[in-house]
Chain A
Amino acid sequence: MTEETGTIDAAGTEHEETPAVSFDADPATYRHWTLDTSGAAETGVAYLRLDIDEAGGIVPGYELKMNSYDLGVDIELYDATQRLRFSHPEVRTVVVTSGKDKNFCAGANIRMLAQSSHPWKVNFCKFTNETRNGMEDATANSGQTYIAAVNGTAAGGGYELALACEQILLIDDNSSAVSLPEVPLLGVLPGTGGLTRVIDKRRVRKDRADVFATTSEGMRGKRAVEWRLVDEVVPKRAWDETVASRAASAAAASSRPADGTGIELPPLQREETADGITYQHVKATFDRDRGLVEITVLGPEGGVPESLERVHELGAAFWPLAMTRELDDLILRLRANELELGTWLIRTRGDVEDALAMERVIERHSRDDWLVNEVRHYFKRVLKRLDVTSRSLIALIEPGSCFAGALLELALACDRQYMLDGTLADDAADDPSGPGQGDEAQIMLSASNFGTFPMSNGLSRLGSRFFGDDDHVAKLRQETDRRVEAREALEMGLVTDAPDDIDWEDEIRIMLEERASLSPDALTGMEANHRFVGPETMESRIFSRLTAWQNWIFVRPNASGPDGALRRYGTGRKADFDRRRV
């Protein structure tokens, strides 16, 4: 994207020529981060150092000065957090720090934001939010505690990165400060969890949070500690050893095994064409005319090994992990690169029993085996990605599918579920890849549908679906581990509709066409509202409140209009605000 192609003109129209984004990364070729696990075997501590290559923007048009980041920087960060979990069981503490002098991180690059189209900004923010949530997830569920060693100024997204860590140490050099200058300087929000985490996680009083978030220079020293913006300020000379000591204490409290052997995460094998992406276990076919993508998740071929030894031996080839990685990659690519494919049709294909092996491994071992535990939480995070994906998600449950247990979560994450009642026997002969294997479609509930993969609101997807009806959820609990066909699934409230073979094709076609004709913005808003019922958590608030407000502000002229704060930043001219409060 260049200034010419990626700008917003005076009328507010976005010129999009978004480059295709790849989410592949490898520590050996990171441009912006160093993942240092050299001492981890001994200390349990890894260092993740941010040293951004100014000329390494993912698209042209800006320089990543002062350790400011863009999507490319965050793609590496995400890769690092994943590898820390899967390849480094020995790492119990991750110290996030800067490789630059005096600059921890200046947050998202402003020129990048100013030149980016709205969808790009939104996608970027969503992904960075997910990565930061993932860091907290590692701290909470993997015994891998993140500590921010803020060895220079942390502004905006830089401070938000620190906020995602369990502890924040700030160097006390009389100049390094933490700040959230978005409101005073840019006319937007600290949208990567900043506002939320300051009050929710760090328990900063709301009046102080108000002062802090409108003070462009931020806070440092004693006051920053007093206000709980950081946990500790550390003099420069005691810096390294204090950081090491805090990291060591966190490591000592970790549940990570002493003798684990990590698994490699090799590059994903992926075949891309203009019409789709094919992985080993996940397939996506684009239908650009209809504005949709057909996603098929293939169940394991011939079952999943259930012995722990074999699971570790297979590592990244272990089907639940391999499938999850592919699905994760697909979701990210579709979100970033295929904006006009507004509906995702989600199918599964495979044997119900085989798919359930994933359950059994997770049920049996996720508490005592670190790798199985990682697989469980990874699948949970990918499902959460689906939950916050701004596309219409429709599950098609057809004969030959394997929506059972964990895979049933895919269907439950969808906005609607359609299950074929009967078979499409007539068509099977013509279309060997189509449904019609004789047996009717079946789904199966398992224990893992009742809390193994919670949503960001803290509830299971069934708990969300039947919010306020605990009796029904309790009844469903009695129905686990047996095959349920369409009509019964409809009665149980597990599917939206169960058209029979005669109606199936028309019902689905009309439903999809109707969907495609609706306003994409209204759909995004509607879906996001329906998907998250009931209680809020810090995580859900980041998406439902902070992000929603941020995305509104992003399209307002006061931010992204030609005279808006975001566009005027760094031009020497002041923003010209429309003063009316809305």
Chain B
Amino acid sequence: MSIDYSEKIPNNVDLAGDRKLQRALESWQPNFINWWKTMGPAVPTEDVYLRTAVDVGKEGWAQFGHVAMEEYRWGVFLAERGDDRRIAFGEQKGEPAWQQVPGEYRADLQRLIVIQGDTEPASVEQQRRLGETAPSLYDLRNLFQVNVEEGRHLWAMVYLLHAFFGRNGREEAEALLHRNSGDLDSPRILGAFNEETPDWLSFFMFTYFTDRDGKYQLGTLKESAFDPLSRTCEFMLKEEAHHMFVGTTGIDRVVTRTCELMREHDTDEIAPHGGIPLEVIQKYVNFHYSVSLDLFGSEQSTNAANYFTAGLKGRWQEERRRDDHRLTEDSGTIDLVRDGKVTQDEVPALLALNSDLRNEYVKDCQSGLKRWNRILEKLGFDARLYLPHVGFNRHVGLFSDHHVTPAGDLIGEDTWKAKEDSWLPSEADKVHVQSLMRPVYEPGKIAGWIAPPTNGINGKPFEYEYVHLA
């Protein structure tokens, strides 16, 4: 059997010279392709204008071109670094980073990788039917780009499982394909990844808010003492940036179109005119933001503390922080409800690491809000979009037993029930958004609820035939 591994599976992990990895990937790949065919994008295509990661260099890490999706070359890449990387935090700070999995942390590291890996194919499954209602070929292409890259991220995690975790790792890699989003018997691990992405507004919200959670999770794993994990995540972050770009500009374009319609018809009630009212956009922000906050886990977490102390998972931009990177003596604050009030509490810093990461995420989310509000301002509207309070609509963590309004007020069950539909997408809102979802597959054309992008992909114009449908 002679296979040109670098051609079939682009990589910088010496796949051609690693018998163990070859064998593992060879038996895994057909199952992956099979999964892609049954759980991947439902719209049949000839080929799609996609970027493919082929290298890790600063210049030209990716190639663009039309490829048939099942022939996409999912590769394995680790960011390149010097060999002398040292552990940046925790008990073993200053010691050389690990090139192998220390047996002591096998179970924890495997768990972290499996959880991360589980989210990657999950979003592909969630977005499986979205192509059927794409507002333009440009958007359809972006959807597929996100999908194949989530697929590659799955490969990246599978690579780690195959290369470093022995038989156990291979079994876990296999299981990543057997759990499916929304499957009653074998669902994805995290709740947020078992909800279908029903419409494109949700897709943009998902890529803005939920993929951004992914960015922060990857950011903490990038700090890991386990060097292959660290380098893998660093490279994944490169691709993740595009996914968030899709979300950011997608929402830009929805807001822009909404403003246009409001101006055109001189009313906020643009639903009858085929637009998405600003109020509905706000509700979608409320929903996706709060669901994504849940992904950070409980505000106070001993797991996170253990991972940090062991060196498995650091903080966002760990090495830029000015403290002792051990945190055994420090304290942090967490948000919580006490005595009927939303307040803060001081706890040992190690226990507040999830809060710390979440706070970084919240700051980052604000930037999109600013951006969309600038569009509103520029187009002469006074209304503004905002992020709801961190305690709003939470199902995980210290707020999960309470009801908090978007403004941050504690309310009772009855009030919540009465007001819920004004804060979160109501059945009617969803039905309306769904009604707008009609495919537009003609090059250069776009659906009426969203503005066209200002730029195309890789210097190509918007009218470019990014996707050849089958």
Contacts and interface: CB of A to CB of B under 8 A. Distances in A.
Contact of B167 (A499, A513, A517): A499
Nearest to A426: B19
Interface string A507-533: 101111111110000000000000000
Contact of B20 (A503, A509, A512, A513): A503
Nearest to B164: A506
A507 B168 CA distance: 9
Nearest to B101: A510
Interface in B96-154: 100-107
B103 A499 contact: no
Nearest to A513: B103
A474 interface: no
B450 to A, nearest CB: 50
A509 B100 contact: yes
B20 A514 contact: no
Contacts of B166: 499, 503, 506-507, 510
B20 A510 contact: no
Contacts of A515: 103
Nearest to A497: B167
Interface string B165-190: 11100000000000000000000000
Interface in A455-514: 497, 499, 502-503, 506-507, 509-514
Given A499-B167, A506-B164, A514 B100 contact: no
B58 interface: no
A300 B20 CA distance: 36
A502 B103 contact: no
Given A499-B166, A499-B167, A503-B166, A510 B23 contact: no
B19 A513 contact: no
A511 B166 CA distance: 10
Given A499-B166, A507-B166, A517 B103 contact: yes
A514 B106 CA distance: 7
A455 B107 CA distance: 34
A499 B171 CA distance: 14
Contacts of A509: 100, 103
B113 to A, nearest CB: 14
A466 B123 CA distance: 46
B447 to A, nearest CB: 52
A510 B106 CA distance: 7
B103 A510 contact: yes
A249 B166 CA distance: 64
B103 A511 contact: yes
Given A507-B166, A507-B167, A510-B166, A502 B104 contact: no
B126 to A, nearest CB: 34
B20 A516 contact: no
B100 A503 contact: no
A28 to B, nearest CB: 49
A413 B215 CA distance: 50
Contacts of B19: 502
Contacts of B102: 513, 517
Contacts of A499: 166-167
Contacts of B100: 509
A514 B23 contact: no
A514 B102 CA distance: 8
Contacts of B164: 506
Contacts of A506: 20, 164, 166
A497 B166 CA distance: 12
Residue with the greatest number of chain A CB neighbours at <10 A, chosen from B19, B23, B107, B167: B167
Contacts of B104: 513-514, 516-517
A497 B168 CA distance: 12
Contacts of B165: 510
A502 B166 CA distance: 9
From A506, A510, A511, A513, name the one whose CB has the most chain B CB atoms within 10 angstroms: A510
A517 B105 CA distance: 9
A142 to B, nearest CB: 45
Interface string A295-318: 000000000000000000000000
Contacts of A511: 103
Nearest to B165: A510
Contacts of B20: 502-503, 506
B229 to A, nearest CB: 15
Interface string A53-72: 00000000000000000000
A510 B166 CA distance: 9
A139 to B, nearest CB: 46
Interface string B74-108: 00000000000000000000000000111111110
A313 to B, nearest CB: 49
Nearest to B167: A503
A428 B165 CA distance: 24
B174 to A, nearest CB: 15
Nearest to A511: B103
B167 A514 contact: no
B452 to A, nearest CB: 52
A145 to B, nearest CB: 51
A513 to B, nearest CB: 2
Contacts of A516: 103-104
A503 B163 CA distance: 10
Contacts of A507: 166-167
A503 B169 CA distance: 11
A256 B409 CA distance: 93
Nearest to B18: A502
Nearest to B163: A506
A403 B106 CA distance: 30
A513 B164 CA distance: 14
A436 to B, nearest CB: 16
Interface string B335-357: 00000000000000000000000
A507 B20 CA distance: 12
A503 B20 CA distance: 7
A513 B106 contact: yes
A516 B106 CA distance: 12
Interface string B14-49: 000001100100000000000000000000000000
Contacts of A497: 167
Contact of A502 (B23, B101, B105, B106): B23
Contacts of A503: 20, 166-167
For A499, A509, A512, which residue has the most chain B Cβ atoms within 10 angstroms? A509
Nearest to A517: B104
Nearest to B22: A502
Interface string A360-380: 000000000000000000000
A512 to B, nearest CB: 6
A516 B164 CA distance: 18
Nearest to A506: B166
A506 B106 CA distance: 11
A516 B103 CA distance: 8
A306 B106 CA distance: 49
A513 B100 CA distance: 11
Contacts of A502: 19-20, 23
Interface string B298-311: 00000000000000
B21 to A, nearest CB: 9
A507 B170 CA distance: 12
B17 to A, nearest CB: 12
A15 to B, nearest CB: 26
Contacts of B107: 514
A511 B105 CA distance: 11
Interface in A514-561: 514-517
Interface of B: 19-20, 23, 100-107, 164-167
User: 7 smallest A-B Cβ distances: which pairs?
Assistant: A513-B103, A517-B104, A514-B103, A502-B20, A507-B166, A510-B103, A506-B166
18 contacts: A497-B167, A499-B166, A499-B167, A503-B167, A507-B166, A509-B103, A510-B165, A510-B166, A511-B103, A512-B103, A513-B102, A513-B103, A514-B104, A514-B107, A515-B103, A516-B103, A516-B104, A517-B102
Given A502-B19, A502-B20, A506-B164, 6 more contacts: A503-B166, A506-B20, A511-B103, A513-B102, A513-B106, A514-B107
